[in-house]
């Protein structure tokens, strides 16, 4: 952990808002611009990142220094750790109680030989329970930069993300900012944007909670297809509107995470 410059959690109180998509594309984009990146999948019951990166049939190996990440390609600019690599069969369910999950997460933090990284991105499951407490408490020991909160624009998602904000503040986990995912559908032919799930909910929540707003990521069918096939979206669609949105998003959080200070509870 001491060799990793920035450690960032991707959180949301709600499932289905695209945390894994945001985590994966953020990690890919950072490696795309020359950063050395690690991506840790802490969604023990629903690991999806190996499929999104085309790494489903890979295995992780353990050496004297710990587990060695599975790398996206020969450049080793993006390394990945997921419970999926330890299960063998992709259809094997993880039927574990809390203590075993807690032990697995601690191993992910202490027993992975990442080497020197610019960024470690940690993808989390929905909610604010066991896995979140374990990963947050462990990373707080290692000077974590903070959390990026993912929401979609509609009110139901916003309501759950408010709980995640409270979770972060109670644990004194810094909040880097909010990103609004699935923010409008941009037609690939005419570039017109249709707000399928409403709009600006993430920005309004950020203003109300006095948290930085990092930007909006549109619904992109090409991105969905790339994740389903495990191919590199940025190589396939270098001129996409999503790539421009991610650039703005990364520029914003790189600026914010240099100045973010821990939030404290008022209770």
Residue numbers in the known binding site for [4Fe-4S] cluster are 187, 190
Joined together, the tokens standing for residue 196 give 């399928």
Handedness of CA 232, 136, 131, 67 (dihedral sign): positive
Query: Whole-angstrom Cα distance, residue 101 to residue 45?
Result: 10
φ and ψ at 87, to 5 degrees? -90, -25
- Considering only CA atoms, which of 125, 107, 112 is closest in space to residue 42? 125
Joined together, the tokens standing for residue 77 give 């600019």
Binding site: which residues? Answer: 13-20, 187, 190
Query: Whole-angstrom Cα distance, residue 124 to residue 111?
Result: 18
Binding site for ATP: which residues? Answer: 13-20
Using the structure block, give the residue that is written with the tokens 């900012």. Answer: 177
Query: Whole-angstrom Cα distance, residue 86 to residue 72?
Result: 17
């Amino acid at each position: 952990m001491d060799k990793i410059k920035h450690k960032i959690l991707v959180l949301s109180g709600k499932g289905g808002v695209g945390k894994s998509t945001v985590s994966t594309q953020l990690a890919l984009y950072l490696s795309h611009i020359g950063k050395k990146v690690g991506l840790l999948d802490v969604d023990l019951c629903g690991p999806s990142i190996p499929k999104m990166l085309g790494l489903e049939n890979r295995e992780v190996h353990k050496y004297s220094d710990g587990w060695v990440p599975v790398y996206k390609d020969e450049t080793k600019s993006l390394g990945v750790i997921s419970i999926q690599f330890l299960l063998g069969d992709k259809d094997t369910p993880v039927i574990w109680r809390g203590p075993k999950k807690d032990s697995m997460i601690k191993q992910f933090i202490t027993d992975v030989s990442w080497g020197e990284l610019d960024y470690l991105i940690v993808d989390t499951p929905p909610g604010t329970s066991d896995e979140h407490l374990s990963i947050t408490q462990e990373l707080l020991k290692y000077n974590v930069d903070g959390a990026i909160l993912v929401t979609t624009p509609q009110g139901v998602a916003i309501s759950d993300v408010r709980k995640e904000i409270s979770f972060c503040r109670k644990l004194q986990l810094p909040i880097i900012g909010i990103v609004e995912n699935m923010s409008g559908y941009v037609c690939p032919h005419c570039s017109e944007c249709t707000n399928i799930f409403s709009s600006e909910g993430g920005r309004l929540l950020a203003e109300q909670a006095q948290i930085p707003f990092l930007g909006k990521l549109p619904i992109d069918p090409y991105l969905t297809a790339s994740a389903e096939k495990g191919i590199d979206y940025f190589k396939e669609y270098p001129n996409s509107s999503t790539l421009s949105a991610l650039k703005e998003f990364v520029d914003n959080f790189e600026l914010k995470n240099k100045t973010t200070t821990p939030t404290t509870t008022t209770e």
